[in-house]
């Protein structure tokens, strides 16, 4: 079948037929390159036995490729104007369940149970709007969903931040949060020229393989993330200064210095120089000292 949705001519034809106008507030940029979509599906590990969850199908370009290669596709679309278009463009595929709902408000776990077999491998695959990438990814990860991987097309700069190494400009609290729950890898860069309308920046495909258990042991997960957040509050400040100002209403400054000394981590270092193992050690030292 060569009349795929993801070609410039077919996309224009669909948009004209429905007099569709792009909503900037929803970050709508439709991909018009079939090869890239097929590559995304391949990187996601989709096969005839897999289930796929898509977020923001648009006019169905990626949905179509997922439907061709997967057993079943569940697609979440927030924009009501796209529902009749999707019913038309995807009418030939019987293995798609289109849900008109905001993914951030959906009970995704329940929807997975209703749509896929208990032992079926489920993958999230999506071209995510730039403005809401992080909240969507954190929800999917923190909801501890029964999914094997999450493969998303996002802004290149954000993808680099999510897969960054310590001591780099891109490394931050988001990197460590994702590293805690997943193994992150940028698998492909996508030029802005293959979108309609063309965005201002290039994109990248980020693949997140969900970990069975975190790479580090922490006694208090919430506190571990507080320590990370505090350490990156002002990137140019030292660990000691960041922690003192973040926890100023809770803990005495001298106490913070004492705990830092106990941890053996040089408090003149900056947050961006600490590995996830060092953050775990620091958080556990604090947890133990505060329990005494």
Say if residue 128 carries a ligand binding annotation: no
- Spatial separation of the C-alpha atoms in residues 283 and 12, rounded to whole Å: 53
CA dihedral for 17, 62, 143, 24, sign (positive or negative): negative
31 annotated as a binding-site residue: yes
CA dihedral 276, 279, 158, 242 (to 10 degrees): -160
> What is the longest distance spanned by two Cα atoms in the chain?
70
Is 77 labelled as part of a ligand binding site? yes
Backbone torsions φ then ψ of 60, nearest 5 degrees: 100, 15
Count, residues in the chain: 292
Please tell me whether 102 is known to bind a ligand.
yes
Strands 203-210 and 149-155, sheet pairing: antiparallel
Cβ contacts of 215 within 8 Å, gap of 6 or more: 179, 180, 276, 277
The 3-state DSSP class for residue 34 equals helix
The verdict on whether residue 29 carries a ligand-binding annotation is yes
- Binding residues, by number, are 29, 31, 56, 77, 102, 127
- Binding residues for S-adenosyl-L-methionine, by number, are 29, 31, 56, 77, 102, 127
């Amino acid at each position: 079948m060569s009349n795929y949705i993801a070609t410039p001519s077919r996309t224009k034809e669909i948009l004209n037929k429905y007099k569709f106008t792009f909503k900037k507030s929803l970050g709508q940029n439709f991909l018009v390159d079939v090869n890239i979509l097929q590559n995304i599906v391949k990187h996601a590990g989709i096969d005839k036995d897999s289930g796929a969850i898509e977020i923001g199908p648009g006019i169905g370009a990626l949905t179509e490729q997922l439907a061709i290669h997967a057993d079943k596709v569940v697609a979440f679309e927030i924009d009501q104007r796209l529902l009749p278009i999707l019913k038309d463009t995807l009418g030939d595929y019987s293995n798609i369940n289109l849900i008109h709902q905001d993914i951030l408000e959906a009970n995704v776990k329940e929807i997975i149970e209703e749509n896929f077999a208990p032992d079926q491998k489920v993958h999230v695959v999506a071209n995510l709007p730039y403005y809401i990438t992080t909240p969507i990814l954190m929800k999917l990860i923190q909801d501890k969903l029964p999914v094997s991987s999450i493969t998303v097309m996002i802004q290149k700069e954000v993808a680099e931040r999510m897969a960054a190494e310590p001591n780099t400009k891109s490394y931050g609290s988001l990197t460590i949060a994702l590293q805690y729950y997943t193994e992150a890898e940028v698998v492909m860069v996508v030029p802005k020229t293959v979108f309609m309308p063309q965005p201002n920046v290039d994109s990248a495909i980020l693949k997140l393989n969900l970990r069975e258990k975190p790479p580090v042991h922490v006694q208090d997960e919430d506190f571990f993330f507080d320590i990370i957040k505090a350490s990156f509050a002002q990137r140019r400040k030292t660990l000691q200064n960041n922690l003192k100002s973040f926890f100023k209403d809770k803990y005495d400054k001298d106490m913070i210095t004492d705990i830092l000394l106990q941890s053996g981590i040089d408090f003149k270092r900056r947050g961006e120089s600490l590995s996830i193992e060092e953050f775990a050690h620091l958080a556990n030292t604090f947890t133990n000292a505060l329990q005494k």
